Amino acid sequence: MQTVHVELGVRSYPIYIGEKLFANSQLLRAHTRAQQVLIVTNETVAPLYLQQIRECFAGLSVSQVVLPDGEAYKTLAVLSTIYDQLLQEKHNRTTTLVALGGGVVGDMTGFAAASYQRGVDFIQIPTTLLSQVDSSVGGKTGVNHPLGKNMIGAFYQPKCVLADTGTLETLPKRELSAGIAEVIKYGLIVDGSFFNWLDDNVEKLLANEREATSYAIQRSCENKAMVVAQDERESGVRAILNLGHTFGHAIETAQGYGNWLHGEAVAVGMLMAVRMSQMMGHLTQSDYERVCQLIHRAGLPVDSPKNMTGEQFINLMGVDKKVIDGKLRLVLLERIGQAVVSTDFDTESLHQVLNEYCSAA
Ligand code: NAD
Ligand code: GLY
């Protein structure tokens, strides 16, 4: 087992990464304060892993809420069913919520924990590659609004993250690829040598080869922990973790939540940001082509949805959380392995990229 630490003073916590961690109940018990535990999962993950997690808490008062599966259910209405159960079962302030599932379950459980009785403990047990490398770490929690992705939420850190890599064996290939998009992101924004490693090893990740996958999860978590430790609430550098997300969130919102996977939308969004960085003179044509090929080899899309217009992108990008005082901020690259957050980007390059990527009139 590898342990990566997220250093945030009193809110610090470990990320445990390894195989068969569900068999080690002590890992979870060490982060549970009292008798009550509510496991939040969904209808796909419950039949696979719920029983094992319930057993980890044997002897405590354990119950579960099984949510419908999908990004389309990441809503205030579905979130409310978690509060209903907490109240019906009289959970008090020492209860622990356990998120068992991908990023949707993790984000919703985290927000329920942040807001129930003004804050109770929670533990992240991510079961998708995307959630193991990204969403379970760093404390962003929340739900979608029909007008914008992740628009309602809170920063709220878990007590620990337990990433059992064995869960990836049941993960559909398309979801594995979506997770690789966020792994590639770390190489692009802060870790050029990891990008080179990915260029050499992406097929091993696609085949879910044990050693390569564990290494990629560990390295991704180390990179994310380093950025989050510098800027927990995204007043500065943390925004680089959103490379491609401003374009990507526009795609997810326009296509209807769940039709494009988050990782797929981020993959195309990253390419658009890389292309823009190239147009602005920071990257070469061969850098752009290298990124494009890596994303393609990872089984991810390299074109934006056929039905989107540049105007639609611009409108939806204006609802992004990085917009300050009406000014759009974009994450761009200065080189592979170094990102910057920019408000004074070249608008002409933005329009050129949108023209290039949008075939719809
Ligand atoms: P997801 O939670 O929808 O999971 C993907 C699919 O895989 C679902 O159908 C799920 O039921 C299924 N699944 C989960 N684990 C499985 C397993 N082991 N075996 C078989 N099937 C399994 O999607 P995701 O990609 O994990 O997360 C995407 C979400 O995360 C988005 O809502 C995105 O906004 C959010 N996100 C949040 C952050 C953050 O910092 N909080 C970062 C990135 C993404
Ligand atoms: N996924 C972006 C962040 O955690 O900041």
What is the domain class of 182-360 according to CATH?
A: mainly alpha
Q: What is the pLDDT of residues 101-118, one digit of tens each?
A: 999 999 999 999 999 999
List b or e across 43-75, with b for residues whose CB sees 16 or more CB atoms inside 10 angstroms: ebbbebbbebbbebbeeeebebbbbebebebbb
Average pLDDT estimate for 145-171: 95
Q: Whole-number mean pLDDT of the chain?
A: 95
> What pLDDT, on a 0 to 100 scale, did the predictor assign at position 75?
97
Instruction: Verify whether residue 262 is a known catalytic residue.
Output: yes
pLDDT band, residue 257 (cuts 50/70/90): confident
Does the structure show a pLDDT above 60 at 361?
no
CA 24, CA 28: separation in Å to the nearest integer? 8
> What pLDDT, on a 0 to 100 scale, did the predictor assign at position 140?
98
2-170: CATH architecture? 3-Layer(aba) Sandwich (3.40)
| 104, 145, 242: residue to mutate for ligand 1 pocket, most atoms within 8 A of CB | 104
pLDDT > 90 fraction of the chain, expressed in percent and rounded: 91
Smallest CA-to-CA distance from 293 within 176, 185, 202 is with 202
| 249 within ligand 2 shell (Cβ under 6 A) | no
Question: Cα dist. 85→89, 99, 111, 265 in Å?
Answer: 6, 15, 15, 33
> What pLDDT, on a 0 to 100 scale, did the predictor assign at position 343?
87
Residue 137 CA: which ligand 2 atom is closest? 4
> What pLDDT, on a 0 to 100 scale, did the predictor assign at position 324?
73
pLDDT band, residue 326 (cuts 50/70/90): confident
Does the structure show a pLDDT above 80 at 261?
yes
Average pLDDT estimate for 1-19: 98
Residue 234 CA: which ligand 2 atom is closest? 5
Smallest CA-to-CA distance from 130 within 70, 69, 183 is with 183
pLDDT band, residue 318 (cuts 50/70/90): confident
pLDDT band, residue 360 (cuts 50/70/90): low
| 138 within ligand 2 shell (Cβ under 6 A) | yes
Q: What is the pLDDT of residues 79-92, one digit of tens each?
A: 999 999 999 999 99
> What pLDDT, on a 0 to 100 scale, did the predictor assign at position 149?
85
| Topology match between the domains 2-170 and 182-360 | no
> What pLDDT, on a 0 to 100 scale, did the predictor assign at position 148?
82
Give the domain ranges of the chain: 2-170, 182-360
Instruction: Verify whether residue 224 is a known catalytic residue.
Output: yes
pLDDT > 70 fraction of the chain, expressed in percent and rounded: 98
Given a contact cutoff of 8 angstroms between Cβ atoms, the answer to whether 181 and 267 are in contact is: yes
Residue 44 CA: which ligand 1 atom is closest? 11
Residue 31: both structure tokens together = 């982060």
Choose between 1 and 361: higher pLDDT.
1
CA 112, CA 119: separation in Å to the nearest integer? 8
What's the pTM?
0.96
> What pLDDT, on a 0 to 100 scale, did the predictor assign at position 344?
87
Taking the CA of 149 as reference, the closest ligand is 1
Q: What is the pLDDT of residues 36-56, one digit of tens each?
A: 999 999 999 999 999 999 999
